[in-house]
Chain A
Amino acid sequence: MDIFLQQIINGLTLGSVYAIVALGYTMVYGIIQLINFAHGEIVMVGAMVAFTVIGWLAANTPLPPLLIVLIGTAAAIPACTAIGYALELFAYRPLRKAPRLAPLITAIGASIVLQQVAMMIWSRNPLAFPQIIPNMVFPVAGATITLIQIAIIMTSVVLMIALTAIVYRTKLGVAMRATSQNAPIAGLMGVNVNHVIAATFMIGAALAAVAGVMVGTYYGIAHYTMGSLLGLKAFCAAVLGGIGNLAGAMLGGMLLGVVEALAAGYMGDLTNNVFGSNYQDVFAFMVLIAVLVFRPSGLLGERIGERA
């Protein structure tokens, strides 16, 4: 088996998830310079809601697996969007003119609240994904790719294209970019800045919902703590690519996934089994630090000062 190619495939799968989550961080940062640390928890809620619906449908209906997963995702999206909207409205909007530390602390608080509430609703035990998706494996030049991996990578590519189209081709997208560059002037032009900011949170949360379904399906479980590390890594991916930059979040996410997977694949061999693949999580942060030493604004980030 070709370990290298196999780890690239695994890395792109995980990287797809990181990229979709990183987009949520970067969009919110781009528009109000806030790091929404509760974003990872929105991913978790997406996975939990979807798993609940999927589990019930799988047990009680004869619907085809694809339809079940789609319905589960369709249930997760409005749930997450509502949370994203509520966070913006109740947690961040009142603090928009406060010093930057205040909303940051609020974000951390919100993430703790979301996690605890999720624990109360879904218990401490992980939810398992029902065995409904056929475990199909396709050979690719000495490595293999599963049906789920193909679905995850393709879904994330479609989402990235759709998001780019929204941001660069629609009126809302122009308003989002104008607001991120100069909110008061956007207001003068007739943009309801509050609506645009709320829409940004909601789009990010909808992406997070899908990411939750993807990562939950990939690993087969969903748990109330799953959002923390995933969120932190996706945040790293956003910073890696240049926070505030959409293409940067996509690139950063993919890159992080691949680096992590390669590290997991070769760590044991390279260190004579002193470090095993369980050290892969450390890699996200090592890559982040290494890149920021040389490019403090991230791979595609603009130099400070170019912001008008």
Chain B
Amino acid sequence: MLEVSGLCVSFGGINAVKGIDFAVRAGEMVALIGANGAGKTTTLKALIGLLRPTEGSIRYDGVDLITVPVHQRITLGIALVPEGRGIFSRLTVEENINMGAYRRPDSAAVRTDRDGVYALFPRLAERRRQTGGTLSGGEQQMLAIARAMMSKPRLLLLDEPSMGLAPLMVRKIFDTIRTIAADGVTILLVEQNAKLALEMCHRGYVMESGAIVTHDNSAALLADPAVRKAYLGDHA
């Protein structure tokens, strides 16, 4: 579904992503883990079009994404739940949710889908008239996911959805991601919390200073001593 090859992104001479290759097949859940500053967010931003790669190709369902402007990528069925959530803080919860369906003209179907995300996140339904900025961190994360789902994505990119959340809320968010995946949405998950991410996903890529250093099935990565030492807090 998604094939990335030789992807390079640089910021004024600093190479943040240095020629990475990876692929995500339809229906998969894939984790991208790595330390702070490894280049994970930069990779996702390049995939969605917020950053322009200096080199490499991104193919999505056979289409070369690099020439597609950012506002059209969502119509291809790719959505990003950005790092830091990116909620429109002065729009209401419902307006935020509607923004996810901005490109969809079918208003009856949009209403049905909105009821669907409210069913997934009843907390958002209670707060639909509140502005986004008044929500708690966990609620904002729910809203960011709900908003992305409103575009009916086939590939959902999530950037650290567990960031800054209490364990109970993290579990709830991860349960929701599982539900979304069970509905047939392909998932590419960037996470600091490598253990949780690998336990949920089928496969994982490990990124270090802009390069992918390892990739394997989750079970193998979870058992890999180097990965355990660097990302799972294993000091044994």
Contacts and interface: CB of A to CB of B under 8 A. Distances in A.
Contacts of A177: 88, 90-91, 95
Contacts of B91: 174, 177-178, 181
B198 interface: no
A123 interface: no
In this complex, the interface size class of chain A, counting residues with CB under 8 Å from chain B, is 10 to 19
Interface in A132-179: 171, 174-175, 177-178
A192 B82 CA distance: 18
Which one of A178, A190, A192 has the highest number of Cβ atoms from chain B below 10 Å of its Cβ? A190
Contact of A189 (B50, B69, B90, B99): B99
Contacts of B99: 174, 178, 186, 189, 191
A308 B80 CA distance: 19
Given A171-B102, A178-B99, A187 B90 contact: no
Which of A182, A185, A189, A190: most chain B Cβ within 10 A? A189
Nearest to A196: B71
B125 interface: no
A190 B80 CA distance: 12
B147 interface: yes
Contacts of B89: 181, 306, 308
B133 A308 contact: yes
A193 interface: yes
Given A181-B90, A190-B151, A174 B70 contact: no
A98 interface: no
B74 interface: yes
Interface in B212-228: none
A59 interface: no
Interface of A: 171, 174-175, 177-178, 181-182, 184-193, 306, 308
Interface of B: 48-50, 69-72, 74-75, 79-80, 82, 86-91, 95, 98-100, 102-103, 133, 147, 151
